[in-house]
Chain A
Amino acid sequence: MWGEGNLTPNYILFCACGSFGALQFVAGKYARRDLTPFAPRLAQLVGAVFVIFAFAWFFRIQPDLFIPGLAGGEFVVYSFVGFVIAFLISRLLGWLATRFTPRHVHALAPRKRELHSK
């Protein structure tokens, strides 16, 4: 199931890290407070850093990427597993941020947006 060496766990971790980055970026761009604990701009920055880090780490730790590795079906399954892990972490962080953010911050947020729209 785990293929040669540490390729599979490393690939799952790579997908989890990259998916988490992409999710944070989108959560920042579309102001999805349920998926990120960060402010929109910061979430986009954190997202980009996570995606770049995921690639840098994976390509550094797996020098044998140019020999036959995972098969097509394995790619799909492991990518999905990585994405689910990233989604659950994002949801948890979003929930924690909402749970422990003082109420007046939530109350101010829409008003601030209204001011910008005017």
Chain B
Amino acid sequence: MNPDVALFHLLNNLTGTFLALDTIALFIVNDYAVPALFAFIVGALWFAGHAERERVVFKSGVLSTLVGLLLANLIVKLCWMTFFRPRPFAAEETVRLLFYRPSVSSFPSEPVATLMALAFGVYLFERRVGLIMLALTFAFAFTRVMAGVHYPSDVIAGALIGAGAVYAPFRYGAATNGLNARIIDLAKRFGLA
């Protein structure tokens, strides 16, 4: 058997085994909990920092993370336009479904790419918070497979796209530094910084 499919069945078989695990998975896997928490964190980090210089680092980090997030979503959409992979519940037999049936392509996982872009982006300028977000992203990816809506390769690809897309603006962000500074100045002028 294809190792991707074998691993999928191994994780999916956990569904319905332990009530506590199902409850935790249901809390993590839905479209609201982890993405909303990440939105709260990234929004609040815009205002973080003691000294002015530190505040600029946080604001630039948030802006670069948002650029990476847009890039990640664009890459996922391009992948979907060129390639369609059916969801496990549509392609496999005996899938235990813990979630609704999404209709878009299974590969790559958009929510995982989105969360990874936010988590890895924050990790690049605020390690401790970033590590917590990365752990939550890992838990989210795990539960998406467990819930029967993604293959392991879908979430791995989503994570790689998210991390790669957000790394680019940080690594090669010299071109956007001027733009970041202008946005921060504009925000300050309107009392948003």
B27 at the interface (CB under 8 A from A): yes
Q: Measured between C-beta atoms, what is the minimum distance from A41 to chain B in Å?
A: 16
Contacts of B47 in A (CB 8 A): 23, 26-27, 30, 32, 35
Which chain B residues have a beta carbon within 8 Å of chain A's beta carbons? 26-27, 30-33, 35-37, 39-41, 43-45, 47-50, 73, 99-100, 102, 110, 191-192
Q: Measured between C-beta atoms, what is the minimum distance from A38 to chain B in Å?
A: 15
- Distance, CA A14 to CA B47, complexed state (A): 20
Contacts of A62 in B (CB 8 A): 32
Q: Is the CB of B30 within 8 A of A65?
A: yes
Assuming the contacts A65-B31, A66-B26, asked whether A30 and B40 have C-beta atoms less than 8 A apart, the reply is no
- Distance, CA A83 to CA B37, complexed state (A): 12
Assuming the contacts A18-B36, A22-B41, A23-B43, asked whether A70 and B50 have C-beta atoms less than 8 A apart, the reply is no
Q: Is the CB of B45 within 8 A of A75?
A: no
How many inter-chain residue pairs (CB < 8 Å) link A and B?
A: 69
Q: Is the CB of A29 within 8 A of B48?
A: yes
Q: Measured between C-beta atoms, what is the minimum distance from B16 to chain A in Å?
A: 15
Contacts of B45 in A (CB 8 A): 26
Q: Is the CB of A26 within 8 A of B30?
A: no
- Distance, CA A86 to CA B33, complexed state (A): 18
Q: Is the CB of B30 within 8 A of A51?
A: no
Instruction: Report the nearest A residue to B98, measured CB to CB.
Output: A66
Q: Is the CB of A83 within 8 A of B30?
A: no
Contact of A30 among B31, B39, B48, B73 (CB under 8 A): B48
Assuming the contacts A67-B100, A91-B191, asked whether A19 and B43 have C-beta atoms less than 8 A apart, the reply is yes
Q: Is the CB of B48 within 8 A of A26?
A: yes
Contacts of A15 in B (CB 8 A): 36, 39-40
Q: Measured between C-beta atoms, what is the minimum distance from A37 to chain B in Å?
A: 15
